[in-house]
């Protein structure tokens, strides 16, 4: 993954154009969520892109938690040069978008970081429809077909060590907690090196505008998603 193709840096400022963010979502993360389309009214930069750039800038630590508080659009954010255990990523006006808590050993090895980031982003992009749709059907709820809103909320990783070369991520379970018209999805995974577990983690996503499950309506959402994906890939 050539990460530099998907952002523009000037000093400690990082800016994501709509085109860069949309291409990362589709070409790297396999994420065709409509909010990443360049013409989306509620456009936002993929959380996995901000996560990837943050790791590239700050390094990979054994234990990390990323909390997304606001959606980045096409404005610039500031990546501080810091060895602190708590880091906040904000824009020039002071609005916070991401907070990072980290502890343990840290590596700046670009190969290790690139491979870990690539594997995580690939895993993360498989959430819809393969995992989310069965979860919603099981709970008898679904996202609003007119405004399907799935938001990246947070992620956490806990690594036993950083001495790995080619990690792989494997799902270990998924859960959906429904809170009225909102829901929280937890995707759990373990991190493997040559078949041996070297860590674990979880990704959390927020669902909004939930309503009773309707098979035909949900299938329509999936079909539209897959049709758009095919059209983009074959264009």
The string of pLDDT tens digits covering residues 115-150 is 999 999 999 888 888 899 999 999 999 999 888 888
Q: What's the pLDDT band for 52 if we cut at 50, 70, 90?
A: very high
Q: Is the pTM of this model over 0.85?
A: yes
Residue-range domains of the chain with CATH? 3-234 (2.40.160)
φ and ψ at residue 10, rounded to 5 degrees? -140, 105
Cis status, amide bond into 129, omega within 30 of 0: yes
Q: Output the pLDDT for position 143.
A: 93
Q: Is the pLDDT of residue 192 over 90?
A: yes
Q: Would you tell me how many other CB atoms lie within 10 Å of the CB of residue 40?
A: 14
The answer on pLDDT for 92 being more than 80 is yes
């Amino acid at each position: 993954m050539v990460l530099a193709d998907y952002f523009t840096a000037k000093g400690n400022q990082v800016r994501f154009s709509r085109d860069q963010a949309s291409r990362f979502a589709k070409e790297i993360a396999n994420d065709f969520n409509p909010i990443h389309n360049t013409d989306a009214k509620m456009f936002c930069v993929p959380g996995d892109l901000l996560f990837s750039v943050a790791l590239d800038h700050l390094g990979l630590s054994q234990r990390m938690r990323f909390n997304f508080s606001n959606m980045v659009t096409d404005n610039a954010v500031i990546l501080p040069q810091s060895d602190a255990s708590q880091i906040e990523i904000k824009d020039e006006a002071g609005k916070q978008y991401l907070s990072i808590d980290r502890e343990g050993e840290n590596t700046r090895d670009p190969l290790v970081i690139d491979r870990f980031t690539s594997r995580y982003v690939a895993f993360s992009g498989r959430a819809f429809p393969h995992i989310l749709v069965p979860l919603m059907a099981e709970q008898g709820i679904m996202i609003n077909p007119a405004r399907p809103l799935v938001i990246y909320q947070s992620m956490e990783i806990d690594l036993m060590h950083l001495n790995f070369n080619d990690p792989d991520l494997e799902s270990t379970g998924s859960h959906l907690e429904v809170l009225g018209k909102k829901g929280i999805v937890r995707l759990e995974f373990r991190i493997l090196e040559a078949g041996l577990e070297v860590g674990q983690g979880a990704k959390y996503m927020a669902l909004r505008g939930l309503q009773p499950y309707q098979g035909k309506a949900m299938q329509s959402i999936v079909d539209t998603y897959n049709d758009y994906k095919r059209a983009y890939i074959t264009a």
